[in-house]
Amino acid sequence: MSSILRLRGLEVHFPVRGGFGDTLLRRARLVVRAVDGIDLDLVRGEVLALVGESGSGKTTTGRVIVKLTRQTAGTVEFEGEDVSNLWSGPALRGFRRRVQLIFQDPYETLNPKQTIFDFVAEPLVVHGLGTDRERSTKVLAALDAAGLRPAAEYALRYPHELSGGQRQRVVIAGALVMDPDLIVADEPVSMLDVSIRTELLHLMLDLRKERGLTYLFITHDLSLAWVIADRIAVMYLGKIMEIGPAEAVIRSPRNPYTQALVSVSPSPDPPTQGERARRTILEGETPDAAHIPSGCRFHPRCPVAFDRCRVEAPPLFDVGGGQAAACWLAEPGGAGTVERAAPTAEG
């Protein structure tokens, strides 16, 4: 399998600006460890869902990949080339043609004073691609591909004339116009209604089929990951806790955090008594990323933590079938297995 994107030991640490008093008292500066050492491979043509709660570092990871945030350590490889230190020049522009970002909020992404045509054409202009006529052909083709038909009619409109779903289609068209290989989509549908959301997910999957796109789909919603992703990576406090095929991660999660998340992810099937009983509602809140607990960062909230978890952080253990979990209980031949019945479909 060829990786289109490879992250190794990626870290993003943000120093917290202390107050004047802190400086006077020479207090140690706090560091927010938003992303704290992750390895991730994206296979060409796949949809990988990066799932996590707020503060898990999923958005920061996406921003590093599209070169909007600088990593503090680690490497980013794209198509076998190290792009970690690519921060300017024609090479960066070349990279950006191939990797596009779709944000959550189409209302904020679009410029209210710009027509749809100008918005979609902007990257072509910035990159100096094509003549006016070629650009206009490309823009109309992108709008058409994003399902805004007839494209010529939508092209001359302004964002306020469009619905939320149509706006997000425009954002997708803006990403498509560069004919990218990889699209990082950060909560692309979470602002939209159910029926519109479904249309957009279908659009994204169709585009993958037609153009061989690869998606990094960032979301907080495990149910959404379940329906769109080939593989799911679950993040907690800047680390990947579990990764694997969607089926494995949802149906037989090996990390207690994933198990808890799956158990509380609601579904339109009214829960049975058994499901209610199996539910693990974690207490408290995710600690802030400036004060990451020792050992396994999940141990203070983990229902099955033991001594080792408090002092030593578990690496991602391969548990077979392409699934890996960062938990001592998943260690091959280790302390044992968390054979808690995973929530299943029958019930």
- DSSP symbol at 120: H
Tell me the closest approach of the beta carbon of residue 201 to other proteins, in angstroms: 6
- DSSP symbol at 343: P
Residue 229, class by beta-carbon neighbours within 10 Å (0-12 exposed, 13-18 middle, 19+ buried)? buried
Q: Which distant-in-sequence residues (6+ apart) come within 8 Å of 58 by Cβ?
A: 50, 51, 52, 218, 220, 235
Pick the closer one to other proteins by CB: 206 or 307.
206
Q: Find residue 8's DSSP bridge partners.
A: 75
Report the run of H or E that residue 65 belongs to, with start and end. helix 58-65
Tell me the closest approach of the beta carbon of residue 71 to other proteins, in angstroms: 25
Query: Would you give the binding string for other proteins spanning residues 245-284, x where CB under 8 A is met?
Result: -x---x---------xxx-xxxxxxxx---x---x-xxx-
> Interface with other proteins includes 213 (CB under 8 A)?
no
C-alpha 310/C-alpha 315 separation (Å) is 14
Q: Is the link from the previous residue into 180 a cis peptide, with omega within 30 of 0?
A: no
Residues 78-107 that bind other proteins (CB under 8 A): none
> Interface with other proteins includes 343 (CB under 8 A)?
yes
Residues 225-244 that bind other proteins (CB under 8 A): 226-227, 230
Considering CB under 8 A, how many residues would be counted as binding other proteins? 43
Residues 155-194 that bind other proteins (CB under 8 A): 193-194
C-alpha 115/C-alpha 170 separation (Å) is 11
CB 241 within 8 A of CB 327: yes
Query: Would you give the binding string for other proteins spanning residues 284-303, x where CB under 8 A is met?
Result: -xx-----------------
Residues 22-61 that bind other proteins (CB under 8 A): 53-54
Q: Which distant-in-sequence residues (6+ apart) come within 8 Å of 87 by Cβ?
A: 67, 70
Identified binder of other proteins from the candidate list 2, 88, 131, 195, rule CB under 8 A: 195
Q: Of 60-68, 131-139, 177-185, 214-222, which segment contacts other proteins by CB under 8 A?
A: 214-222
Residues near other proteins, by CB under 8 A: 53-54, 193-195, 197-199, 201-202, 205, 220-224, 226-227, 230, 246, 250, 260-262, 264-271, 275, 279, 281-283, 285-286, 343-345, 347
